[in-house]
Structure 1
Amino acid sequence: MEIGFIGLGQMGSAIAGNLVKAGHDVTVWNRSADKTRPLVEIGARRAETPTGAAAGKVVFTMLANDQAVERVVFGDDGVLASAARPIHVSMSTISVALAERLTEAHAASGGDFISAPVFGRPSFAAAGKLAVVAAGDDKALEVCEPLFAAIGQRTFKVGAAPKNANVIKLCGNFMILAAIESLAEAMTLAAKNGVEKATLLDVLTNTLFGSPIYQTYGDILLHERFEPAGFAAPLGLKDMNLVDSAALSSRVPMPFLGVLRAQLLATIARHGEDIDWSALGKVVTENSGL
């Protein structure tokens, strides 16, 4: 299938690479053109503009925030300027409000919009083992099914309204960070009372908490593998702000959200912007005097 891919960070590069390896005709664009080189070397083509990447049947965007998505979609050389009217698949973690705006804009232009954020760190993306959460028109989703199969191990279809997928992604990221915080607190409590963190983690992940989140982040916390960041702390803070916006507009109190945001702010203030969001575990440890 002839597709485009816009946004070649850690996640985007891995996803686009798997689409190329699956035999699709992939055209890529990135604000920093040098990031297109590895993909061109394995068979992709480089577009000069976002519009150029949106000349096929489907165009993916995987970008850092709402502002970046708005620039590549609504700009003079953006996705909506393409005469091809491709299905736009947004894999970015964006606000519910922007998802609604994109849905309306694509419908007005005669195109389709699908929200398809993913769960999984860069290693999962490279291995094609992401979980894809997709929402939008049934016919557009059917077109995209083989593309999702090339990048993930399972696709969850969550309704006709694209924003549904974004709500689920934000809820999921909130719960991931809550799990990291609770695990960091528990491991620190154990350590201060003479119990090895590894012992606690072994017991918990083989009894009550045998899930990928506790296993993956427990190992990261245990070995303090916070750099290089798989998901940088400022991106986590951005996501928690998006959760807050959704909660405010929906009138949903989320008191623990304030704790998580404060911990991320402390993490960034103490350890810089290039550290993984799980490094809030360092803040928990530091605050305990260890």
Structure 2
Amino acid sequence: MTQKIGFVGLGAMGLPMASNLIAAGYQLTVYNRTASKAEPLLAHGAHRAARAGDVARPGGIVVSMLADDASLEALVAGEDALAANLGPDGIHVSMSTVSPAITRKLARVHAERESTMIAAPVFGRPNAAAAKKLWICTSGPADAKARVRPLLEAMGQGIFDFGEDPDAANVVKLAGNFMIAASFEAISEALTMVQKSGVDPVAAIEMLMTTLFASPVYQGYGAMIAHRKFTPAGFRLPLGLKDIDLVLKTAAEANVPMPAASLLRDRFLSAIAKGRADLDWSAIALGAADDAGLKVSR
């Protein structure tokens, strides 16, 4: 029997993730605020729900991929009442990058209604989502994680478990996003120095990416920064600012100073103030060039 799954959030990440679930044989009921984004899935057999909460079946599974804390809270505890609609034995797999605090809060809401919330945020851009190459972090009750593991395997290349505390995976996701954003600053400062010293920054980054820094983050973003290619945006600047704000909030709750994160927040704010909000989040790299007096196009 084909398993029926609900899916909410069909943006740049959610759409390819949902497509991979359909390709794996799952029957999807989907919802997106902009209804037209569901059309590619409907053409492959998905059903469209009139309201977000309507994707849930009692005792079933719902996956969400939403933009922020407010959207997730509205889905779970607002008028859509996903937690109530899932009911006993239902599972909500939250794959969004959100605060640990909102996950703890909404996990309690689910528990009060006898459903379960699993945190499963992902690492990877839209092209990785389309290729089933996401890295997925999970946390929450062990039995629920075991039940949803086949879904996660249909969307990613690896699953890493961080225990039963509901928010643990969100902490790891924020830590990773901070480290990625910090690499933008390191790359941009280094390449600005290289360029102003009369050396070709593209040649420099190609050497560094294939030797000392042969990692996906440096290889992917290093080339974007060296070539100043920030469109199309896989992850827009305002979303990067949202994540760094979450990093700083989470660090403050744990009494952890993060001075580099504060610098990154200023870079995001500056980039958005300069009209770069539609660019990829790695475009904060233009800030180092600005500071050094180099001419940039945006």
> In the aligned structure 2, how far is the partner of 1:215 from the partner of 1:182?
13
Partner of 2:103: 99
> In the aligned structure 2, how far is the partner of 1:71 from the partner of 1:228?
29
Is 2:290 aligned against 1:286? Answer: yes
Structure with greater helix share of residues? 1
Partner of 1:179: 183
Quote the offset at 1:77 in angstroms.
Answer: 2.4
Q: Deviations over 1:60-94 (max 9, x none)?
A: 11111000111111122231231554200000111
Is 2:273 aligned against 1:257? Answer: no
TM-score of the pair, normalised by structure 2: 0.94
The one-letter code matched in structure 1 to 2:71 is A
Equivalent pairs, count: 290
**Higher mean C-alpha displacement, 77-86 vs 206-215:** 77-86
Q: Are the counterparts in 2 of residues 174 and 240 from structure 1 also a CA contact under 8 Å? A: yes
> In the aligned structure 2, how far is the partner of 1:89 from the partner of 1:179?
29
> In the aligned structure 2, how far is the partner of 1:277 from the partner of 1:77?
31
Runs of 4+ in 1 over 6 A off after TM superposition: none
Aligned residue for 1:143, secondary structure, equals helix
1:109-120 to 2 correspondences below 5 Å: 109-120=113-124
**Higher mean C-alpha displacement, 50-59 vs 243-252:** 50-59
Partner of 1:35: 37
The one-letter code matched in structure 2 to 1:233 is L
> In the aligned structure 1, how far is the partner of 2:123 from the partner of 2:256?
24
Is 2:63 aligned against 1:60? Answer: yes
> In the aligned structure 2, how far is the partner of 1:228 from the partner of 1:283?
19
> In the aligned structure 2, how far is the partner of 1:119 from the partner of 1:2?
25
> In the aligned structure 1, how far is the partner of 2:262 from the partner of 2:54?
42
Partner of 1:19: 21
Unaligned runs of 5+ in 1: none
Is 2:14 aligned against 1:8? Answer: no
Quote the offset at 1:175 in angstroms.
Answer: 0.5
Aligned residue for 1:76, secondary structure, equals coil
Partner of 2:242: 238
Q: Are the counterparts in 2 of residues 18 and 151 from structure 1 also a CA contact under 8 Å? A: yes
Q: Are the counterparts in 2 of residues 268 and 275 from structure 1 also a CA contact under 8 Å? A: no
> In the aligned structure 2, how far is the partner of 1:264 from the partner of 1:248?
19
Quote the offset at 1:136 in angstroms.
Answer: 1.1
The one-letter code matched in structure 2 to 1:49 is R
Q: Are the counterparts in 2 of residues 183 and 218 from structure 1 also a CA contact under 8 Å? A: yes
Partner of 1:194: 198
RMSD across aligned positions (CA): 1.2
Is 2:94 aligned against 1:90? Answer: yes
The one-letter code matched in structure 1 to 2:192 is T
1:154-169 to 2 correspondences below 5 Å: 154-169=158-173
Q: Deviations over 1:108-137 (max 9, x none)?
A: 111111000000011100111000001111
> In the aligned structure 1, how far is the partner of 2:182 from the partner of 2:192?
15
